């Protein structure tokens, strides 16, 4: 098991660093990002180098890489850097938390990030670069294509096909036997029961605040 370099210097990279360095046998040894965004020499006590020069400091024969970016532009930036890292010769191992709940025989691609306390049923397939956050559910015989992002408490029921580069927000729910096209955005608290074409956007209206203050509400409801 080779030491790993993390691509990214943002909040997602910090979350990945926490899990990889503290809750896995992986040794994180450094950071990298595009030269134009590199504004420091170290990050969390480890060297940070430009991606354009990363093979000099961390040759792929000796180090692996994990692309720890968010879902900017519907995951396209992360997808591009996954491709670029492979072109440089790096292996991109997936991280699966030991308390993830992921079945041991799950078909899992490269550069996936599976947090603790997810609910993934048997016979699920996850492509490359799929991020699944704590509390998310993926039902049996579902297929999640490359570069998807499944936020905490999102619910994908059984026999669902999700296309590449989709985003599932908190409490988004997809019913059984539904096909989601590629590059779709499902907002918080949405419910999808029918197939969606590529690049669909589904948004639920936000709850409107009441026209009384919280103190007035407490008095009216006799809540203590």
pTM greater than 0.85? yes
pLDDT confidence bin for 154, thresholds 50/70/90: very high
Question: Looking at residues 60-64, what average pLDDT do you find?
Answer: 98
Nearest to 130 by CA among 109, 116, 115: 109
Kindly list the distances between the CA atom of residue 20 and the CA atoms of 44, 90, 116, 183, in Å, as whole numbers in the listed order.
13, 17, 12, 28
At the fourth CATH level, which superfamily is domain 94-199? Hexapeptide repeat proteins (2.160.10.10)
Tokens 């509400």, located at residue: 217
Residue-wise pLDDT for 155-179, tens only, equals 999 999 999 999 999 999 999 999 9
CATH of domain 4-91: 3.40.50.20
Helix runs in the chain, H state only: 11-22, 54-57, 72-87, 214-221
Q: What is the SS3 assignment for 123?
A: coil
* pLDDT score for 153: 97
Round to whole Å and give the CA distance between 81 and 145.
Answer: 17
The pLDDT value given to residue 224:
57
Which residues, other chains included, contact 205 with Cβ-Cβ below 8 Å and sequence gap of 6+?
none
User: Is the pLDDT reported for residue 223 higher than 70?
Assistant: no
Task: Take residue 102 and report the two structure tokens written for it.
Answer: 């992921």
What is the tens place of the pLDDT at every residue in 127-141? 999 999 999 999 999
Q: Sketch the domain layout of the chain as residue ranges.
A: 4-91, 94-199
Q: Produce one character per residue of 189-200: b if its CB has 16 or more CB atoms within 10 Å, e if not.
A: bbebeeebeeeb
The model's pLDDT over 25-48, given as tens digits with 9 standing for 90+, comes to: 999 999 999 999 999 999 999 999
Give pLDDT, residue 203: 97
In this predicted structure, the answer to whether residue 197 has a pLDDT above a threshold of 80 is yes
Using 50, 70 and 90 to split pLDDT, how confident is the model at 144? very high
Across the chain, mean pLDDT equals 96
């Amino acid at each position: 098991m080779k030491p790993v370099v993390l691509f990214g210097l943002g909040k997602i990279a910090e979350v990945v660093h926490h899990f990889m360095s503290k809750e896995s046998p992986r040794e994180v040894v450094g950071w990298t990002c595009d030269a134009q965004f590199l504004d420091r020499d170290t990050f969390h006590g480890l060297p940070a180098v430009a991606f354009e020069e990363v093979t000099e400091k961390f040759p792929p024969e000796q180090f692996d890489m994990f692309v720890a970016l968010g879902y900017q532009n519907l995951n396209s930036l992360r997808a591009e850097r996954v491709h670029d890292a492979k072109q440089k010769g790096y292996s991109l191992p997936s991280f699966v938390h030991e308390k993830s709940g992921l079945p041991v025989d799950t078909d899992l691609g490269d550069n996936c990030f599976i947090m603790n306390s997810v609910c993934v049923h048997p016979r699920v397939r996850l492509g490359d670069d799929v991020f699944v956050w704590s509390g998310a559910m993926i039902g049996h015989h579902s297929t999640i294509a490359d570069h998807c992002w499944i936020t905490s408490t999102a619910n994908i029921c059984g026999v669902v096909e999700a296309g590449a580069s989709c985003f599932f927000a908190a409490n988004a729910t997809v019913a059984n036997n539904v096909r989601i096209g590629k590059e779709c955005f499902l907002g918080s608290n949405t419910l999808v029961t029918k197939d969606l074409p590529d690049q669909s956007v589904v948004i639920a209206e936000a709850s409107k605040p009441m026209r009384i203050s919280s103190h007035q509400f407490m008095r009216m409801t006799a809540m203590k």
